[in-house]
Chains A and B, each alone.
Chain A
Amino acid sequence: MKGRTIGRHFRESIKSISRNGWMTFASVSAVTVTLLLVGVFVMIMMNLNKVADDLEKDVEIKVYVELTADEASITKLEQEIKETTGIAEVKYSPKGDELNKLVVDFGDDLRLFEQQNPLHNVFYAKAINPQETEAVAKKLDRLDNTFEVKYGEGKIEKLFSFLNTGRNVGLVLILALLFTAMFLISNTIRITIVARRRDIEIMKLVGATNWFIRIPFILEGMWLGILGAIVPMTLVTVLYYNVYKLLAPRLEQGKLFELLDFSPFIYQVNGLILLMGVLIGVWGSFMSVRKFLRV
């Protein structure tokens, strides 16, 4: 194929978009509505996922050091914890600090205990994979000079299974929505092409090869996808900008979890919407034309 023919196909596809008026409008609207749904939904799901990740990351393993352990064995224990596989980070908190935390939480009366601190020195450890917290905790328990290892037994299992269910449900919903979107959009595009079945027959009679007929249609599908993606991209961006501006400062105080940062995230979502629009448009036209080329 010659370069000027490729140029011709591009011009032809754009011409077709403008001359098909209402059909173009119908397809673009269908793409717009579905991509908007997908965009908003993806945004919600990805943020929920982020929240789940944040919650998981807050899961800590608390290693109480034996009261009888001396400086040397504490250092040794710290080393051993760090070397345990699956450990991401370790923080040491001597019993003085532990008491201070209690004082902050429960009041000055507890300062009495500063004379003779009954608390243990503590290591706070986090698992690289929060889902493996339990297994890692058990390994730590086997080390020397540990009095007790706690990781929120019972509670975190419930949390994890809740979060996992949430993630799976979200994934299934997104896939279902994508599938519906593909179906809806390619069907609309199909209708616009069915209306042009006669055109395809005529082109073949004049001696056009299948690819000569197909390419402008495929390009047209691509334009439909791009046109249909414009409104969802704009709306999703404005929407997330405002939600982020509203919620982010409040969540920052809680520190429990945060929304995904505006900057890379919104570009990813927009990219996804555009890519989906183009893919669905191209795929829809390709499939529809294919049917009529077998004349």
Chain B
Amino acid sequence: MIEMINVYKKYPNGIVAANGIDIKIKQGEFVYVVGPSGAGKSTFIKMMYREERPTSGDILINGVNLATLKNNKVPLLRRQIGVVFQDFKLLPRLNVYENVAFALEVIEETPKVIRKKVMDVLELVGLKNKARMFPTELSGGEQQRVSIARSIVNTPMLVIADEPTGNLDPETSWEIMNIFEEINARGTTIIMATHNREIVNTIRHRVIAVEGGLITRDEYGGEYGYEG
């Protein structure tokens, strides 16, 4: 479902973040993306939701080529992809419920459906009782759960997570991972960039290592492979 063909990305400042990447990811896979900082991991992730456009090469998601996707079609793409970030990226003036509901409002869902879906997904992440609270009133782990709820409320086929546990303590990180596992068990593809060695080595999945803009390793059930 996701395919990168000879993807090359050079930033205006001359840095080459992707130097001919080829990869295929099937529907329902769980993929860790690992690698040292500044090795092109973030660019690899960002190109998948069209935050960055490749300089050359093709990125196909369900047959849509992101390299040639017009700007005004980007919102349509993003509605089919859930994105989770290290810094949560919640809207500070909206409460938990509204933050999650926003993803459904943009697709002009009916209020009734929005209410049901939001409450269901808040139940899944265990925040049903905090629906009226604002992001600043929540702990980091709770904020990340809101952000995950928002990313999956629209039942996307793909969830992309850029170091989702980067700001969280170990215990909370495991809780977050459990949620991702559950989402993955429902058939959603998950691509997760991470520095968390313990998680990668414990919950075994496919591991893709990115270094110097290239994929240097791609193993199913692989290890983190870098010194902590």
* B75 contacts A by Cβ under 8 Å: yes
Docked-complex contact B75 and A208, CB < 8 angstroms: yes
In whole angstroms, what is the CA distance A202 to B150 when docked? 12
Docked-complex contact A212 and B106, CB < 8 angstroms: yes
Given contact pairs A203-B102, A206-B102, A207-B103, A5 touches B91 in the complex (Cβ within 8 A): no
In whole angstroms, what is the CA distance A203 to B79 when docked? 11
Docked-complex contact B105 and A5, CB < 8 angstroms: yes
Given contact pairs A19-B93, A199-B92, A202-B89, A207 touches B108 in the complex (Cβ within 8 A): no
In whole angstroms, what is the CA distance A228 to B141 when docked? 41
Docked-complex contact B107 and A207, CB < 8 angstroms: yes
Docked-complex contact B78 and A4, CB < 8 angstroms: no
Complex contacts, B92 vs chain A, CB 8 Å: 199
* A246 contacts B by Cβ under 8 Å: no
- Rounded to whole Å, the gap between the CB of A123 and the closest CB of chain B is 74
- Rounded to whole Å, the gap between the CB of B1 and the closest CB of chain A is 18
Docked-complex contact A209 and B49, CB < 8 angstroms: no
Interface centre among A2, A204, A205, A209 (most CB of B within 10 A): A205
* A112 contacts B by Cβ under 8 Å: no
- Rounded to whole Å, the gap between the CB of A50 and the closest CB of chain B is 48
* B126 contacts A by Cβ under 8 Å: no
In whole angstroms, what is the CA distance A15 to B83 when docked? 26
Given contact pairs A199-B91, A205-B83, A207-B103, A4 touches B49 in the complex (Cβ within 8 A): no
Docked-complex contact B106 and A207, CB < 8 angstroms: yes
Q: B83, B90, B106: which contacts A209 (Cβ < 8 A)?
A: B106
Complex contacts, B154 vs chain A, CB 8 Å: 207
In whole angstroms, what is the CA distance A201 to B74 when docked? 13
In whole angstroms, what is the CA distance A46 to B81 when docked? 59
- Rounded to whole Å, the gap between the CB of B49 and the closest CB of chain A is 7
Docked-complex contact B93 and A206, CB < 8 angstroms: no
| Interface size of A in residues (CB-CB distance below 8 Å) | 20
In chain A, positions 167-217 with a C-beta closer than 8 Å to chain B are 199, 201-209, 212
* A68 contacts B by Cβ under 8 Å: no
* A8 contacts B by Cβ under 8 Å: yes
Complex interface bits, B38-58 against A, C-beta within 8 A gives 1, otherwise 0: 000000000001010000000
Identify the closest chain B residue to A202 (Cβ). Answer: B89
* A117 contacts B by Cβ under 8 Å: no
- Rounded to whole Å, the gap between the CB of B86 and the closest CB of chain A is 13
* B129 contacts A by Cβ under 8 Å: no
- Rounded to whole Å, the gap between the CB of B31 and the closest CB of chain A is 20
Given contact pairs A20-B93, A199-B92, A199-B93, A206 touches B108 in the complex (Cβ within 8 A): no
- Rounded to whole Å, the gap between the CB of B203 and the closest CB of chain A is 26
Docked-complex contact B76 and A205, CB < 8 angstroms: no
* B187 contacts A by Cβ under 8 Å: no
* B36 contacts A by Cβ under 8 Å: no
Complex contacts, A205 vs chain B, CB 8 Å: 49, 51, 78, 83, 89
Q: A5, A16, A203: which contacts B108 (Cβ < 8 A)?
A: A5
* B110 contacts A by Cβ under 8 Å: yes
* A135 contacts B by Cβ under 8 Å: no
Docked-complex contact B78 and A207, CB < 8 angstroms: yes
* A104 contacts B by Cβ under 8 Å: no
* A1 contacts B by Cβ under 8 Å: yes
Docked-complex contact B91 and A202, CB < 8 angstroms: yes
Given contact pairs A202-B90, A206-B102, A1 touches B108 in the complex (Cβ within 8 A): yes
- Rounded to whole Å, the gap between the CB of A17 and the closest CB of chain B is 11
Identify the closest chain A residue to B81 (Cβ). Answer: A207
Identify the closest chain B residue to A206 (Cβ). Answer: B103
Complex contacts, A16 vs chain B, CB 8 Å: 93
Given contact pairs A20-B93, A199-B93, A202-B90, A207 touches B105 in the complex (Cβ within 8 A): no
Complex contacts, A4 vs chain B, CB 8 Å: 108, 110-111
Identify the closest chain A residue to B92 (Cβ). Answer: A199
Residues of chain A having any CB pair with chain B under 8 Å: 1-2, 4-5, 8, 15-16, 19-20, 199, 201-209, 212
Q: Name 14 extra pairs, CB < 8 A, besides A15-B93, A205-B49, A207-B106.
A: A20-B93, A199-B91, A201-B89, A204-B74, A204-B78, A206-B103, A207-B75, A207-B77, A207-B79, A207-B103, A207-B154, A208-B75, A208-B102, A212-B75
Residues of chain B having any CB pair with chain A under 8 Å: 49, 51, 72, 74-79, 83, 89-93, 102-103, 105-108, 110-111, 150, 154
3 closest A-B pairs by CB: A207-B78, A207-B79, A208-B106
